[in-house]
């Protein structure tokens, strides 16, 4: 009967471990990227060698020796989607795990609570470095070094839109186009004015002057129309602009696409120009394919590094190490790739993957662990009572 006490004790210890695991699952019900686990139980047997009734009655000749635990099995089912509104929060819609570096350890996680730290390195809320794949296919940190500012660009093309009236020999003032914006190579903003003279036969001379008071003439050209639209090859006017300390640069005024010459009043305006000044970084986001995109105050954007996602031949080689992260053990291979490519999922900005803890299942397991623990304690209590009865028999002889 002493072996019965040991059996009951194994039940107490096993169900206590199970209760601890259920408690850990419930405690992390709101932890992003957390994966629940379940304790695996196994029965213990000891070989019966007494050649007694069990073998004579066809039994296998073994006796139960209690409860054993085989470790926990992780549930890798995706967690609930949670909207956060933070552009750097990411959830994975599909397969894959983020690759992170914690100290010298390479780890993997589904928790996408990311941010750029004081050193402009992309990290998670624990400070682990989020990794990318570089052009050589190697894992590397993601940082914003060299992306703090956007260099200026000189204007090379200005697109004009609207109507140039054809009813008078010299168009009125409102047919002129003033304060057309251009940028020089240093990113300094300038303006130029355009005036138009009807030369007859549906042609116009365009004169470009500096936008300052009594500005100098910068250049001129001719526009030609047929049936109210510019003739092919006759819808562009070029001029050179120079300012102190800057080499002259050529600007093309493009009237070819959206300019007409009708009898109605002139409505000319600048549609767009392709220059811009120096910009400072105003925002950074991560696209659905994992590419870091940086926006600047001058309206420009650039693309940076691209997050690495990992997949495994066997997820059973992953072990939990805290912080919703996993380390790989065993001999199975790790495969790295990019979101949206091959079998990897896409990324959803402004969302996090929550835990996959099923409260109903966990509360059911909580009851089962409690009942198992209670039953094991009754086994020990009953065996103790029987042993006490044996001791009491000696006292009555």
Beta partners for residue 273, in sequence order? 158
Q: What is the mean pLDDT of residues 232-254?
A: 92
Q: Residue 265: count other Cβ atoms within 10 Å of its Cβ.
A: 14
SS3 content of the chain, % helix, strand, coil (to 5): 20, 45, 35
In this predicted model, what pLDDT tens digit does every residue of 35-59 receive, in sequence order?
Answer: 999 888 787 666 555 555 555 555 5
pLDDT at 174: 46
pLDDT at 2: 74
pLDDT at 268: 93
Q: Residue 375: count other Cβ atoms within 10 Å of its Cβ.
A: 13
Beta partners for residue 189, in sequence order? 183
Q: What is the mean pLDDT of residues 257-283?
A: 93
pLDDT at 344: 95
Are 50 and 23 within 8 A, CB to CB? no
Q: pLDDT confidence of 308, banded at 50, 70, 90?
A: very high
User: Among residues of the chain, what percentage have pLDDT more than 90?
Assistant: 62
Q: pLDDT confidence of 60, banded at 50, 70, 90?
A: low
Q: Residue 363: count other Cβ atoms within 10 Å of its Cβ.
A: 12
CB burial readout 138-177, b (16+ within 10 A) else e? ebebbbbeebeebebbbbeebbbbbbbbbeeeebeeebeb
3-class DSSP state for residue 7? helix
pLDDT at 45: 64
Q: pLDDT confidence of 104, banded at 50, 70, 90?
A: very high
Residue 84 has pLDDT above 90, yes or no: yes
Beta partners for residue 92, in sequence order? 347
3-class DSSP state for residue 174? helix
149-150 and 279-286 beta bridge pairing = antiparallel
Q: Which is higher by pLDDT, 337 or 41?
A: 337
139-141 and 236-243 beta bridge pairing = unpaired
Alpha helices in the chain (DSSP H): 2-27, 53-56, 359-396
For the chain, give every residue range classified as CATH 2.60.98.20.
157-273
Give the mean pLDDT of the chain.
88
pLDDT at 380: 82
Report the C-alpha gap between 127 and 30 in whole angstroms: 19
Residue 90 has pLDDT above 80, yes or no: yes
- Residue 69's nearest CA partner among 13, 144, 152, 126 is 13
pLDDT at 395: 58
User: 157-273, what's its fold?
Assistant: Tick-borne Encephalitis virus Glycoprotein; domain 1 (2.60.98)
In this predicted model, what pLDDT tens digit does every residue of 115-145 receive, in sequence order?
Answer: 999 999 999 999 999 999 998 889 999 999 9
DSSP state of 25: H
Q: Which is higher by pLDDT, 24 or 48?
A: 24
Q: pLDDT confidence of 299, banded at 50, 70, 90?
A: very high
3-class DSSP state for residue 353? strand
In this predicted model, what pLDDT tens digit does every residue of 178-205 receive, in sequence order?
Answer: 999 999 999 999 999 999 988 888 889 9
């Amino acid at each position: 009967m002493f072996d019965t006490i040991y059996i009951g004790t194994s039940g107490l210890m096993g169900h206590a471990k199970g209760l601890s695991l259920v408690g850990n699952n419930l405690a992390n019900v709101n932890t992003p990227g957390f994966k629940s686990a379940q304790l695996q139980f196994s029965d213990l047997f000891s070989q019966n060698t007494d050649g007694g009734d069990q073998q004579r009655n066809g039994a296998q000749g073994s006796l139960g020796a209690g409860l054993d635990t085989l470790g926990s099995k992780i549930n890798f089912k995706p967690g609930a989607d949670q909207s956060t509104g933070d552009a750097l929060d990411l959830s994975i819609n599909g397969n894959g795990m983020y690759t992170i570096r914690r100290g010298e350890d390479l780890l993997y996680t589904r928790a996408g609570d990311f941010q750029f730290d004081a050193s402009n390195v992309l990290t998670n809320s624990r400070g682990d470095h989020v990794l990318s794949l570089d052009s050589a296919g190697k894992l590397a940190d993601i940082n914003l070094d060299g992306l703090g500012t956007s260099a200026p660009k000189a204007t090379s093309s200005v697109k004009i839109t609207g109507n140039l009236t054809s009813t008078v020999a010299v168009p009125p003032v409102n047919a002129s186009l003033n304060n057309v914006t251009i940028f020089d190579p240093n990113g300094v903003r300038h303006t130029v004015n355009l005036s138009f003279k009807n030369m007859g036969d549906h042609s116009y001379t365009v004169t470009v002057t500096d936008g300052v008071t009594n500005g100098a003439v910068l250049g001129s050209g001719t526009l030609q129309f047929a049936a109210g639209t510019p003739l092919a090859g006759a819808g562009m006017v070029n001029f050179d602009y120079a300012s102190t300390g800057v080499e002259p640069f050529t600007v093309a005024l493009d009237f070819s696409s959206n300019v007409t010459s009708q009898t109605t009043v002139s409505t000319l305006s600048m549609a767009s120009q392709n220059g811009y000044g120096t910009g400072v970084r105003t925002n950074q986001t991560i696209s659905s394919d994992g590419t870091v995109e940086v926006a600047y105050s001058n309206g420009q954007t650039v693309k940076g590094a691209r997050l690495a996602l990992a997949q495994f031949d066997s997820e059973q080689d992953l072990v939990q190490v805290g912080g919703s992260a996993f380390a790989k053990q065993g001999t199975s291979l790790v495969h790295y790739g990019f979101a949206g490519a091959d079998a990897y999922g896409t990324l959803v900005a402004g969302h996090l993957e929550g835990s996959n803890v099923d409260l109903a299942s966990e509360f059911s397991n909580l009851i089962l662990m409690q009942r198992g623990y209670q039953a094991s304690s009754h086994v020990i209590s009953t065996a103790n009572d029987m042993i006490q009865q044996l001791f009491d028999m000696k006292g009555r002889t």
